[in-house]
Structure 1
Amino acid sequence: TKEQTKSVENTNKKFEGISIAIDEMQEVVQTLNGSGKDMESKKNEIITVIDNLSAISQETAAGTEETVAAVEEQTASISELANASESLARLAEDMQANISRFRY
């Protein structure tokens, strides 16, 4: 019976060790679950930031396209003004030549 008692005590100690190990594993699993939730939250924050950056980039690209279009329009207008100035200068020269014919 001493052997049986000792065997039961050893078995109890082993079960206590197993119980302690299970408790420790539960704590580790809970910590991992918490970390997983934190990672999910951070991932969502990062996705939101990336989406915002993408929207800003698209707005910037659209603004740049509008600016380029405006510059092209201004360049065309300036070119037209330059052509009109050249035409006016030629007309003025022709007029000057015609006026000089009427001088004595």
Structure 2
Amino acid sequence: MLDEITQKNELEPISNKQNQEPKEVEKMPLNNIQKAKELKNNANLIVRRTDELDKAINKRESFQREFERRIKRLDNKIETLSKKIEEVKCPTAKDDWAS
């Protein structure tokens, strides 16, 4: 599995002798250190982008809720105005007797 990870990330293999010794930064091949830094930077970038996406999604959901709230309010106003228009067009029988 270690060999697969080494190959996948284009790292230089560490010899058996190095595996037995403590792995210190000075003993690692320079290419491995550079690759490790790149991988760390990429991971940090992914985390930042994920956070930005989460914020954008939350903002969109907030706008969606506000939009739905305003639509509902406008629907209620339209319904109220429609009722008032109907009252003006067709007064009730009670109003007819009063005139």
TM-score range, shorter chain: 0.5 to 0.7
Selected match of 1:40 from 52, 61, 70: 61
Q: Aligned partner of 1:53: which letter?
A: L
Shift of residue 12 of structure 1?
1.4
What RMSD over aligned residues (CA atoms) do the two structures have, in Å?
2.8
Selected match of 2:44 from 11, 23, 33: 23
Asked if 1:12 is matched to 2:33, the reply is: yes
Query: Greater helix percent: which structure?
Result: 1
> Which consecutive residues of structure 1, in runs of 5 or more, have no partner in the other structure?
79-104
Three-state SS of the structure 2 residue aligned to 1:70 is coil
Selected match of 2:83 from 62, 69, 91: 62
What TM-score results when the alignment is normalised by the length of structure 1?
0.61
Q: Please tell me whether Structure 1 or Structure 2 has the larger radius of gyration of its CA atoms.
A: 1
Percent identical pairs in the alignment equals: 15
